[in-house]
Amino acid sequence: MAATRCRAGPLDLATVGLYDMKVRTEEGQTVGRATTGTQTMLVRRSIALADLASLLAYLPDGAVNGAVRTAVVDDNVLAKATVQARENALRQLVHYYGITAGDPAFAILRQLWRDYPVERPICALLLACSRDRVLAATTALIAGMPIDTAVDYEALAGAAVRVGASYSETSLHKVAESAVASTTMSGLTGGYPPRRRELTPGLVSVAYAAWLAAQTGAAGSGLFVAAPFTWLGLDANAAERLCAEASRRFLLEMKSSGGIVDITFQRFSEIAKGTS
């Protein structure tokens, strides 16, 4: 099924950045920060899919928070050359994905990662966008571009500024480059020079987008216009149609009567319960 595209309008910041919390290990040491702010990372980088894949392949199910730091810094599972590079990689992963035992969004991503390998890149991008408003803004801009349109780096830098980023001109260009690197990992952009690519999100990604939207307070038909669907380049009609199909595949539960839409997430709720 071909995805319907929509041009991204002004970003609804109420639906961007689900968390604002410090992430601590079992010993109480801060290992990173998930934030709705825009300057947490000292150097803005891509969503690091390869590092995420290596870490998830290494960590056992139910690994507690201290195990993450041990894996990345002590065991060097990501094969970084220096301790500082390991620390930076850990901060980057925590920033975009949380990677804590009590985070339901990460717990669901990990389950989907294991069960649906083909959907990994898009699901990872969705979670990363939900935790970083600059990535959310730049991804929404790219997703709203017509297919095969060349990426405008100045426009991406402008999108970052509009959501509060305050960087030098050089750093803003790096922000734009990182956004393109992240969307290329997900299949949203590609080629050289980078262009918007046709991307049809799978139903698992659609269900995860709906769940993330619901965590912001969006409900009913309001889910279909929430930010996670703009990151996928879907308009409200396409989002509703794909959610209905996801419901038929038992990825979520969607009922519609008299123009009123009700969506629940029994499967994801069961996963989230294990984090409480």
The pLDDT tens digits of the residues spanning 76-134 come to 999 999 999 999 999 999 999 998 878 999 999 999 999 999 999 999 999 999 999 99
Query: What residues contact residue 181 under an 8 Å CB cut-off, 6+ apart?
Result: 46
The pLDDT tens digits of the residues spanning 92-106 come to 999 999 988 789 999
Statement: residue 32 has pLDDT above 50: no
The pLDDT tens digits of the residues spanning 176-207 come to 999 999 999 999 999 999 999 998 899 999 99
Q: Is residue 45 part of a domain?
A: no
Going by pLDDT thresholds of 50, 70 and 90, the confidence category of residue 167 is confident
Mean pLDDT of 219-235: 95
What does the mean pLDDT of the chain come to? 84
Q: Are residues 213 and 266 in the same domain?
A: yes
Query: What residues contact residue 162 under an 8 Å CB cut-off, 6+ apart?
Result: 11, 137
Beta strands in the chain (DSSP E): 21-24, 30-34, 189-190, 195-196, 253-257, 260-264
The model's pTM is 0.84
If one counts every other C-beta atom within 10 angstroms of the C-beta of residue 175, the result is: 24
Q: Is residue 151 part of a domain?
A: yes
Q: Are residues 255 and 214 in the same domain?
A: yes
Q: Of 147, 168, 196, which residue sits at a domain end?
A: 196
Q: 121: cis peptide before it, omega within 30°?
A: no
Contact 153, 176 (CB under 8 A): yes
Q: What pLDDT does residue 276 have?
A: 63
Q: Are residues 151 and 192 in the same domain?
A: yes
Q: Residue 228: name the closest of 220, 239, 242 by CA.
A: 239
Statement: residue 141 has pLDDT above 90: yes
Statement: residue 64 has pLDDT above 90: no
The pLDDT tens digits of the residues spanning 239-257 come to 999 999 999 999 999 999 8
Query: Which residue segment(s) compose the domain that 267 sits in?
Result: 203-273
Residue with tokens 């150097």: 43
Q: Are residues 164 and 219 in the same domain?
A: no
Q: Are residues 168 and 214 in the same domain?
A: no
The Cα 36–Cα 272 span in angstroms is 22
Q: Is residue 121 part of a domain?
A: no
| Number of domains comprising the chain | 2
Q: Of 196, 214, 235, which residue sits at a domain end?
A: 196
Q: Are residues 231 and 257 in the same domain?
A: yes
